[in-house]
Amino acid sequence: MASSLLSADVASSQNELPVSSAVPPLALHNLFSVKAVPIFQRGSLLPPSMNNGGVSASSRVWGTVNGQEVHRIDFDTTEGFGVSFTTYGATLLSVRSGDKDGAIEEVTLQHDTLDEVVAGDAYYGSTVGRVCNRIVGASFSVDGEVISVDANNGPHCLHGGAKGFDKAVWRHEVFHTSDGVGVKFEYDSPDGEGGFPGALATKVTYSVKRGSERGTGELHTAMEAEYVTDDDGGKEKKRGPTPVNLTNHAYWNLSGDRKRSVRDHELMMRCDRYLPLDEQPVRVPTGEIMPVLGTPFDFTEGASLGAAIDGVGGNPPGVDNCLVRVGTSDGGQAAGFRTWR
């Protein structure tokens, strides 16, 4: 029996993995990375609508937020694989992929309208920053100075605060590569935004190329952040350094159009350690880094998500821990998950 497998290199040393039996989709943060970085240097800009390497690209105004135009970008391959984005939050809106019979179905959770994206509170597909996950007590120290940031999750800072990168309207450029198309998003976070010190220049790049069979294709992502130490030609020194931990917050369900729970999925992650959580109402890491061996968090050889959810327990039961990856210098597959379709 054939299977559908989605895999990529893990882009961060820590991955937040919230999974709940009450919430069918799976969220894999920082899952996708591209091996050629930055990929946008390999191509040139496309007009608003064009076809390259069997992948069509279009960009249109989708609406406005606080007086700023928000664009929607759609990529579709001749094999039926499709991906959509929006400049609001540099968000991955949709991934349309084929099953073993070539039927094209949605494999992420997505919003259909810009109003739904803006009103949503689950970060569907958005770019999260400056720091994904929780900063305990919404404060940290830099060179002995205590920095307080926006507390939006009880006493803690979650995903950069109430107005994190997911709430920003990003600049964008659509481009083509030698074998596909892509889009580059850019956002300049000023010193003091959300309480974070220092200015930060951020780039998120997605590229898509066609596959060889019906419904197949490839999606690659690169995330970059550059700390800006000087402003106005070096006349003004910015505060810093600043913490940065970017992620993409897509929720995946490979059964297609959410026909089944992710409990049926198998997850493989080359992560040999995890971060335990305390027992507060809003659970946060204890600061320990523990081995996954012998725990429900051991996905190094592939494991059932349903079994992991049951093993972790809780109310509601689920996995909401960071996992720490093993180095991937051997070029092997770093992460992936599959479901029988």
Average pLDDT per run of 10 along the chain, which is 341 residues long?
Answer: 29 31 34 28 41 84 97 94 97 93 91 96 96 92 92 94 97 91 96 93 94 89 86 55 91 86 89 87 84 94 93 82 70 45 41
Beta strand pairing status for 14-20 and 318-325? antiparallel
| Helices and strands (H and E) in the chain: how many | 2, 29
In the chain, domain spans: 4-339
Please give the pLDDT value at position 118. 97
Please indicate, yes or no, whether the overall pTM of this predicted structure exceeds 0.75.
yes
Please give the pLDDT value at position 18. 33
Nearest CA to 217 among 309, 323, 95? 95
Do residues 332 and 270 lie in contact, with contact meaning Cβ atoms separated by under 8 Å? yes
**Sign, CA torsion 222/223/229/235:** positive
Nearest CA to 65 among 109, 120, 133, 110? 120
Q: How distant, in Å, are the alpha carbons of 44, 50, 91, 149, 193 from that of 243?
A: 32, 39, 22, 11, 13
HSE (side-chain half, CA atoms, 13 Å) at 230: 4
Which value, to the nearest 10 degrees, does the dihedral of the CA atoms of residues 248, 249, 255, 258 take? -150
> Regarding the domain delimited by 4-339, which CATH topology (the fold level of the hierarchy) does it fall under?
Beta-galactosidase; Chain A, domain 5 (2.70.98)
Please give the pLDDT value at position 52. 65
Please give the pLDDT value at position 234. 54
